[in-house]
Structure 1
């Protein structure tokens, strides 16, 4: 029978879910951001070669977290647009909850959740697991990495050489400001949309390219007045 969880119980059973996993862990959370305790638990499962899948809609990883994640061979990350679900699963139990992954252990929050056991609620567990598998199938699996733009100037004035027609034609790509104009957005609005879609990650005042963007052909270049992004035409249909 499913069990109601308050804030402290949600934290407790989520930790137990990860610790007790023998085959797999699936973590579905809109925000990819890991605290030290979660990293410790996942690192132990990685050493045991447990299959770990993290499905997220937005990444807020710090550079040191990214370096840590890249070292974990058995942790796979997937980006799922429009993700708002929070669900955590191993081979014999699942938690559906309001608790975001990055809020784990923050017991001052007011959270709720439902603990589902495979043995006691087989159909409910099965439905939850199948929906998690569907989200995995529609997600883009990527290895998290960032390309840092040191003191980045995200836009280059139109009179700089990096924005001239010849150079733009040579790359068959356009700058963020031109892409924004083409799509009818303000530049700031477009940057937010690119972040929401998983092509950019923002840390403080700098933006970073994700693997999703780089695999599509996005680049960053240096012009007279700083660094800027170049976007392939294919990005237009994805914003």
Structure 2
């Protein structure tokens, strides 16, 4: 029989659901800002090589989420347009709830949910699992490129590696000689993902699996591949056009 969950119970059983996943874990939440406790649990699942799928749909991933997800080999992230469902499943248990996988919601909001088990609620659990699988299939896997975002000392909230790397690229003069992909995308008025796709389509970058690599054409156009304190990133001429 389904079990009703209030806010605290939803948070408790969500952690248990993640902790007890042995084969697969699906986390579907429109908004995504994962708290430290759930991060630890997901990192443990990654060490155990459990297949984890996270689907979100209402906002861009913030820099901290990008850097963290980048390091998790067995956690794949997808974007699903018009997503409003909140559903969390492993191979034995499902939670259907109003709770987003969002730190603020987990602490401040009044939420409700229903817990289903494959053993006691087999038909309902199967329907929920099948629908979650469908959402995973129709979502677009996010390509987390080699460009990383780091916290610059004295810069407050996460500042993009572009800030530091631009000074590095022009010898510290502060001139806008080169921009990271994120800064270039902002200058062009498009999303970083769209810019990366265009760079691949134009032959300036090569995509291998989920990683981007600078091509000879990209190098001849002035593109550079750099390694900074937070990881790898690309630099492009300020007036780059294609």
Query: TM-score category by the smaller chain?
Result: 0.5 to 0.7
Distance of aligned partners of 1:94 and 1:213 in 2 relative to their CA distance in 1, 3 Å threshold: farther
Residues 11 and 104 of structure 1 are in contact (CA less than 8 Å); yes or no, is this contact kept in structure 2?
no
- 5+ residue gaps, structure 2: 148-180, 203-235
Aligned position for 1:109: 109
Aligned position for 1:168: none
State whether structure 2 residue 182 is matched by structure 1 residue 148.
yes
Residues 70 and 143 of structure 1 are in contact (CA less than 8 Å); yes or no, is this contact kept in structure 2?
no
Aligned position for 1:50: 50
Higher relative CO (Cα under 8 Å, sequence separation at least 6) belongs to 1
TM-score w.r.t. length of structure 2: 0.64
Q: Cα deviation per residue 1:106-150 (whole Å; 9 max; x = unaligned)?
A: 333100000011100000000000001111111111233464218
Aligned position for 2:63: 63
Runs of 4+ residues over 6 Å off in structure 1: 218-221
Which SS does the other structure have where 1:54 is aligned? strand
State whether structure 2 residue 197 is matched by structure 1 residue 215.
yes
- 5+ residue gaps, structure 1: 155-175, 177-190, 192-199, 201-208, 231-239
Quote the offset at 1:30 in angstroms: 0.7
2: CA distance, partners of 1:213 / 1:135? 26
State the Cα RMSD in Å.
2.6
Distance of aligned partners of 1:214 and 1:123 in 2 relative to their CA distance in 1, 3 Å threshold: same
In the alignment of these two chains, the number of paired residues is: 174
2: CA distance, partners of 1:58 / 1:144? 17
2: CA distance, partners of 1:57 / 1:129? 19
TM-score w.r.t. length of structure 1: 0.65
